[in-house]
């Protein structure tokens, strides 16, 4: 492409793909069981109609457009349409309740919104009087909206039809507006998860995400022949990098599943070559494999066990191109035909060249499992403020305890406190309309202060220890790193969430959230009767099993030079799942530790007081939006610690 660097924008990339690969699929969407294909040529025409329709409705350069819904081609197109007009898309989390949206809509001065369906329209109607700038709401799916008569409501098709008429009257308008755009214009505003306060809008330019997309695509040899499955929230920075920036840079195909429930089935049909999932997804898939093998006959179980022993021994070496013995290579090849390949196919990973995970630490056993069966699973590291692009793991240099090396175009250094500082192509322009917050996170040398504490090993690989603000000291003055311990706990498939306490205290305590599906299956196999989540979480057998998991973590901690003193002394299993709707987790499922400590203060006090049980009544928000409460007497147990720690 001949466009100069300072003029390179996403709309210009759209024009380029429509010209060079016009018939290649830009999007596929599963609708009523059938995959619908949108070529790059058709993609340009649809975006052109939408952009001109928005212009005819009053959308102008400098305005911000809210986008709310599941992954849909029309919503990705809406992002580019806004950019073509010099506007800025602002994706919101589609599962956020209406009240949570008020802050973002007002903070970003949203005047137009394009949403997926009736559910999102109803949320905006509920809060519209609290969002004075919101003038126009456009919906993509008309189902259930036939009787809605508000004058500011329009269907996606109505806007596109208006755009066709507008184009006939102003044939040069679209290309003229597009050509005004520059690389340093804002391209998107993504909101932080708000772990410690109100979410902040992260303002990124076209060049931020385009350079991150170009460099990361080149790093993993991505091109227009690749396929990705887009199923994670569009408001999340990772989806914007993978399903938007990299797709717009390379021309790869973005596949949108029919629904959340059909993601795995749709993934098996598509067979993506490029895939991302947070650790909990990979954990869930492995749990399903484990459950299926427990259901299998003795011969199949034995064969699977033999195959996995070979895979664990040499699978990663074969994947990385390292030398292994002739006998091992033959054994692996045989098992690949009979076990590994069918397993990859069942997981929808038969065609994957590159798979990534990030967001949380991933257990080494889990990591080894996927790599051992031939899935090129790697970790990356980044933040909303850095386009999710800071560290990548090169092929053949994958370490289980690191997040990789500095990505191309990125500089990393450690502050004296151990905080990771980042400078380079992906670092944000700043927080939207918050110069003070920007100045607090960006120093005079242009380094973004990530808030993460880490170390860099002799090979240049970064290892993240914890959030810098969460790293504290126990009463004896020794290091306390809660996230580090929580991640070790969550490596077990039976533990969904863990919240660790100990800052300023003389002992480490933890709340445990069980994985209901995994433990329910475990309990059924052992003929343990239970009536529901609260009942299962209180079972003696469950406490014993969780206690064994914690003991293994304590053994691991005992061998850790940094945290041998920080073994877990006592624990309890919470009577409810931690939930974003109850403000206990962010929408990206990050634990809000301070809020949880306050909300469950009676339980925390009971842990430190040495009590064996504690009654608590907890306010919750039900799925239908009603407020309510649940109560339980939560059991508390001592954990088995390891004496003679290293």
Task: Name which of 39-48, 238-247, 462-471 the model is least confident about.
Answer: 462-471
The structure's pTM equals 0.82
Mean pLDDT of all residues in 556-572:
88
User: Closest by alpha carbon to 589, among 95, 230, 184?
Assistant: 95
Mean pLDDT of all residues in 279-304:
83
Mean pLDDT of all residues in 78-82:
98
Contacts of 9 (CB under 8 A, 6+ apart): 83, 178, 181, 182, 183, 185, 187, 206, 210
Question: What percentage of the chain exceeds 90 in pLDDT?
Answer: 75
In SS3 terms, 117-131 reads as CHHHHHHHHHHHHHC
Mean pLDDT of all residues in 353-371:
84
Q: What is the pLDDT of residue 645?
A: 47
User: Do 579 and 480 touch, CB atoms closer than 8 A?
Assistant: no
Strands 25-31 and 253-256: parallel
Task: Name which of 411-415, 486-490, 599-603, 631-635 the model is least confident about.
Answer: 486-490
Write the DSSP assignment of 440-453 as a string of letters.
Answer: HHB-TTS-EEEEEE
Task: Name which of 23-32, 152-161, 430-439, 576-585 the model is least confident about.
Answer: 576-585
Residue 32, phi-psi category: left (phi > 0), alpha (psi -120 to 50), beta (remainder): left
Task: Name which of 192-196, 235-239, 592-596 the model is least confident about.
Answer: 192-196
Sheet containing strand 495-501, edge to edge, reads 495-501, 508-514, 568-573, 627-638, 613-621
pLDDT in tens, 294-337: 777 888 889 999 999 999 999 999 998 889 999 999 999 999 99
Sheet containing strand 410-414, edge to edge, reads 410-414, 419-424, 448-456, 462-467
For residue 244, pLDDT over 80 is answered with yes
Contacts of 205 (CB under 8 A, 6+ apart): 183, 184, 185, 186, 187, 429
Q: What is the pLDDT of residue 481?
A: 86
Q: What is the pLDDT of residue 5?
A: 59
With bands split at pLDDT 50, 70 and 90, how would you rate the model's confidence at 646?
A: very low
pLDDT averaged over the chain? 92
With bands split at pLDDT 50, 70 and 90, how would you rate the model's confidence at 382?
A: very high
Mean pLDDT of all residues in 488-506:
90
User: Do 475 and 504 touch, CB atoms closer than 8 A?
Assistant: yes
For residue 4, pLDDT over 70 is answered with no
pLDDT higher at 524 or 359 = 524
Q: What is the pLDDT of residue 620?
A: 86
> What domains can be seen in the chain, in order of their start residue?
5-24+39-204+240-253 (3.40.50.12780), 472-638 (3.30.300.30)
Strands 274-276 and 354-357: parallel
Mean pLDDT of all residues in 526-549:
94
Task: Name which of 53-57, 122-126, 224-228, 360-364 the model is least confident about.
Answer: 360-364
pLDDT in tens, 44-61: 999 999 999 999 999 999
User: Do 140 and 69 touch, CB atoms closer than 8 A?
Assistant: yes
pLDDT in tens, 439-473: 999 999 999 999 998 889 899 999 888 777 778 88
Q: What is the pLDDT of residue 319?
A: 92
Q: What is the pLDDT of residue 624?
A: 65
Q: What is the pLDDT of residue 396?
A: 87
For residue 195, pLDDT over 70 is answered with no
Task: Give 528: exposed, middle or buried? Use CB within 10 Å, 0-12, 13-18, 19+.
Answer: middle
């Amino acid at each position: 492409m001949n466009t100069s660097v300072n003029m390179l924008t996403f709309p210009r990339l759209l024009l380029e793909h429509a010209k060079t690969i016009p018939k290649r699929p830009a999007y596929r969407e599963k609708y009523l069981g059938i995959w619908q294909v949108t070529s790059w040529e058709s993609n340009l025409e649809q975006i052109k109609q939408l952009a001109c329709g928005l212009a005819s409705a009053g959308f102008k350069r400098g305005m911000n457009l809210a986008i709310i819904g599941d992954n849909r081609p029309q919503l990705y197109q809406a992002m580019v349409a806004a950019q073509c007009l010099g506007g800025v898309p602002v994706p919101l989390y589609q599962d956020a309740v209406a009240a949570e949206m008020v802050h973002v809509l007002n903070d970003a001065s949203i005047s137009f919104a394009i949403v997926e369906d009736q559910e999102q329209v109803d949320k905006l109607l509920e809060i519209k009087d609290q969002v004075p700038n919101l003038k126009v709401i456009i919906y993509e799916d008309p189902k259930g909206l036939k009787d809605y008569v508000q004058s500011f409501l329009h269907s996606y098709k109505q806007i596109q039809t208006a755009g066709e008429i507008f184009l006939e009257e102003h044939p040069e308008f679209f290309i003229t507006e597009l050509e005004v755009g520059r690389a340093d214009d804002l391209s998107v505003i993504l909101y932080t998860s708000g772990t410690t306060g109100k979410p902040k809008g992260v303002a990124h330019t076209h060049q931020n995400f385009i350079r991150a997309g170009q460099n990361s695509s080149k790093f993993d040899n991505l091109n227009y022949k690749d396929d990705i499955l887009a199923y994670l929230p569009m408001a999340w920075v990772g989806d914007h990098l993978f399903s938007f920036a990299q797709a717009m840079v390379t021309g790869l195909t973005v596949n949108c599943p029919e629904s959340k429930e059909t993601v795995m089935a749709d993934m098996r049909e598509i067979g993506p070559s490029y895939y991302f999932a947070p650790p909990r997804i990979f954990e869930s898939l492995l749990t399903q494999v484990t459950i299926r093998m427990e259901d299998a006959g003795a011969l199949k179980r034995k064969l699977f066990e033999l195959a996995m022993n070979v895979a664990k021994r040499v699978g990663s070496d074969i994947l990385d191109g390292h030398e292994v013995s002739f006998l091992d290579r033959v054994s692996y090849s045989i098992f690949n035909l009979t076990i590994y390949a069918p397993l990859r196919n069942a997981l929808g990973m038969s065609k994957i060249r590159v798979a990534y995970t990030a967001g949380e630490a991933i257990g080494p056993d889990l990591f080894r499992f996927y790599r051992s069966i031939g899935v090129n699973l790697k970790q990356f590291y980044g933040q909303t403020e850095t386009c999710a692009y800071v560290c990548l793991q090169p092929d053949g240099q994958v370490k289980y305890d690191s997040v990789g090396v500095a990505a191309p175009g990125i500089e990393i250094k450690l502050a004296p406190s151990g905080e990771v500082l980042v400078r380079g192509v992906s670092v944000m322009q700043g927080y939207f309309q918050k110069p003070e917050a920007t100045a607090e996170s960006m120093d005079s040398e242009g380094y973004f202060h990530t808030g993460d504490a880490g170390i860099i090993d002799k090979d240049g690989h970064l290892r993240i220890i914890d959030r810098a603000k969460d790293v504290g000291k126990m009463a004896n003055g020794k290091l306390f790193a809660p996230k580090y311990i929580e991640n070790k706990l969550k490596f077990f498939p039976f533990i969904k969430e863990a919240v660790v306490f100990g800052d300023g205290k003389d002992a480490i305590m933890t709340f445990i959230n069980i994985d209901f599906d995994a433990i329910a299956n475990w309990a059924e196999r052992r003929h343990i009767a239970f009536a529901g989540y609260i009942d299962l979480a209180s079972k003696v057998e469950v406490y014993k099993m969780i206690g064994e998991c914690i003991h293994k973590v304590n053994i691991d901690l005992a061998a850790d030079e940094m945290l041998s003193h920080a073994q877990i002394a006592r624990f309890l299993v919470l009577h409810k799942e931690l939930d974003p709707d109850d403000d206990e987790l962010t929408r990206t499922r990050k634990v809000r530790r301070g809020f949880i400590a306050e909300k469950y203060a009676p339980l925390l006090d009971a842990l430190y007081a040495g009590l064996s049980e504690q009654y608590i009544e907890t306010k919750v928000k039900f799925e239908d939006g009603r407020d309510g409460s649940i109560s339980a007497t939560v059991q508390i147990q001592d954990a088995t610690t390891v004496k003679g720690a290293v």
